[in-house]
Amino acid sequence: MKKWNHIFCMAKSLGVLSMSCVLLFLCGCKAQLGNGLTLCNPVDLSYRFSLKDSTYREAADPTMVYFKGEYYLFLSKSGGYFHSVNLVDWDLIVPENLPVEKYAPTVMEMDGELYFTASLATDRIYKTPEPKSGKWELVTDSFPMVVADPMLFYDEVRDKVFMYYGSGAGTPMMSVELDRKTFMPVSAPKKLFYSHADKYGWEVGGDHNTNYKHVGWMEGAWMTYHDGKYYLQYAVPGTEVKSYCNGVYVSDNPDGPFVLQPHNPFSYKPEGFVCGFGHGSTFQDRFGNYWNISTSTISQRHMFERRISLCPVFFDTDGTIYASTAWVDYPFLFPDRKVKSPQELFPGWMLLNYKKQVETSSSLEGHSSECVVDEDIRTWWSAETADEGEFLSVDLGKIAEIYAVQVNFADQGARAGSLSGSLAYRYLLEVSTDGVEWDILADKSHNRKDAPHEYIQLREPEQARYVRLTNVGCPTRNFSVSDFRVFGLMDKPLPQATEVMSAERNKDNRRRVRLEWAEVPDAIGYNVRFGVQPDKLFHHYIVYGDPGVTLNVLNADLPYYFAIDSFNEAGITEGKAIKFVP
């Protein structure tokens, strides 16, 4: 067993690694694996338990800014804002006077300072030249409009400031120009666009956009300027559903008129382990790459039980903006340079333990062992107790090459009065080739970090068939895991290629299409790629198991093209055949 894996993981859990050590580690990864630092959604933050109901954690509506060489992440009701130098390691800054307990904070940069306000607290606007200090100065406490889900935008081209806002069912997205010094309105509020769920499937409510009786909720404005165009993003149809996504309108001017981009929604991920990609922000990293960070749903204990996810964003040669959400709940590379395509960011590590055999020490009724390998963040396994020694073990079926492991803790038994002291989970992660002799992969028995979605990238791959997680100490009343996810590669043939065999668009509801394809015997799932042009298949829909799916997310006014990829533990086989559906 490689002892440095054990040492590195223990040192990081104790918080004793210097930045030089981290950089040395990353360089080692690149040399050993041919890859650099990888990330895996959801973003592993110390998500705070709700102050009203401590049974669940909440964080949502992220605004991310890259400011003076570092990253600052502002979230709803998180007790402060997060700071990072690398988008992996985060520390919480608790400011002195910001309304951090409000929803939907917005931050913009202008003239070397950050400006802040939040939803239903827009009467006050703050600024700081140094957010790391936690000290903010009040710009105004008399802004005359109290609006929901504001977005402050500084247009460097025109040297103007705008506020975009709107949150409701049947209400429009709005804008107003502000004086760049006083932040008082200098124009009348302007209606920009309304939801049109009668035509646009992604704006229909429900996990699968089928709740036609419910008026979709439009919210979460975000503006991105790129190459002479203004891209106004908005979230629909509701934060609690898996179909939560961001649409986008485009204009030559910051206050419109705006037209719907043909490729819509802009960010969309309704299936897989992480579901929902709505109400967020689009930003650039230190290398100029674009990213979208958005809200993903769990919404089991409460509708506001949510997490944060990150995905790369690109502009094609026609100026179409798209978020590449394919495989972003698998490991993906965080680049050390400017990249040109999503393919550069996927290391090819596959999920090795989907629906594989699981052994556990015990199981609480209603939370069985299969839940740790079902790729569903809304279900979880729970042991009967939080005692040391409670465990789960997964049999991969054969020896595989393991590159990374993600442990998603489920906080079963968290309630008022039960959460005291450290929120860190302490555990032992082990591997075995035969299920008898075990080696330590990561020793977190002295962990002090609250990491509810801990992602462990190995310095070099490990050969193993069995992977075991054993509780050492737990902050809640039960040791519980929503999914225990093992990533790597298995020595087996790639799945055969497949293609769409049948595509039937509903004549009475053109937002809907039924797809069926040839089943591939050794595939664990399929990735449906689709779009409004054959060279713009930017949408992705993951299907585990079944060789068919009904999509309800289409624009009724446009034709579509579809292709199907098959995948298993060895990799992905791209479907070459493209099906046109008028």
End-to-end CA distance of the chain: 57
- Return the H-helix or E-strand segment holding 22: helix 19-33
DSSP assignments along 230-271, one per residue: EEEEEEES-TTSTT-EEEEEEESSTT---EE-SS--SB---S
Which of 111-119's residues contact partners 24+ apart within 8 Å by CB, and which partners?
114/65, 114/67, 114/72, 115/139, 115/152, 115/183, 116/74, 117/143, 117/150, 117/152, 118/150, 119/61, 119/76, 119/147, 119/148, 119/149, 119/150, 119/167
> Would you state the pLDDT for residue 87?
92
Q: Check if CATH label 2.115.10.20 holds for domain 63-345.
A: yes
Check residue 444 and give its pLDDT.
Answer: 97
E strands, 498-576, are: 500-505, 513-517, 525-531, 539-544, 548-551, 560-568, 571-573
Predicted local distance difference test score (pLDDT) of residue 9: 41
pLDDT of amino acid 336: 93
- Cβ burial, residue 23 (10 Å; 0-12/13-18/19+): exposed
**3-state secondary structure at position 489:** strand
How high is the pLDDT of residue 417? 55
The CB density around residue 159, as the number of other CB atoms within 10 Å, is 9
Instruction: Name residue 402's beta-bridge partners.
Output: 462, 488
The reported pLDDT for the residue numbered 415 is 77
Q: Topology of domain 500-581, per CATH?
A: Immunoglobulin-like (2.60.40)
Q: What is d(CA 118, CA 367) in angstroms, rounded to the nearest whole number?
A: 38
- For the chain, the structural domain boundaries read 3-34+350-489, 63-345, 500-581
Enumerate residues 6+ apart whose C-beta is below 8 A from 224. 230, 231, 233, 282, 290, 321
pLDDT tens column, 165-198:
999 999 999 999 999 999 999 999 999 999 999 9
SS3 label, residue 6: helix
- Exposed / middle / buried, residue 439 (Cβ in 10 Å: 0-12, 13-18, 19+): middle
Quote the longest CA-to-CA distance of the chain: 73
Q: What is the pTM of this model?
A: 0.93
3-34+350-489: CATH number: 2.60.120.260
CA neighbor of 558 nearest in space, from 524, 581, 527 = 581
Structure tokens at 516: 């069926």
Give pLDDT, residue 469: 98
Q: Do domains 3-34+350-489 and 500-581 have the same CATH topology?
A: no
- 539-564 in b/e form (b: 16+ CB < 10 A) is bbbbbbeebebebbbbbeebebbbbb
Per-residue confidence (pLDDT) for residue 501, from 0 to 100: 96
- Give the distance, in angstroms, between the CA of residue 533 and the centroid of all CA atoms in the same chain: 26
Tokens of residue 246, six digits: 């961001």
Q: Give the DSSP letter of residue 85.
A: S
- Strand residue runs (E) in 330-452: 332-333, 350-351, 357-360, 381-382, 391-409, 426-432, 439-444
**Positions of the chain with pLDDT lower than 70, given as ranges:** 1-35, 416-421
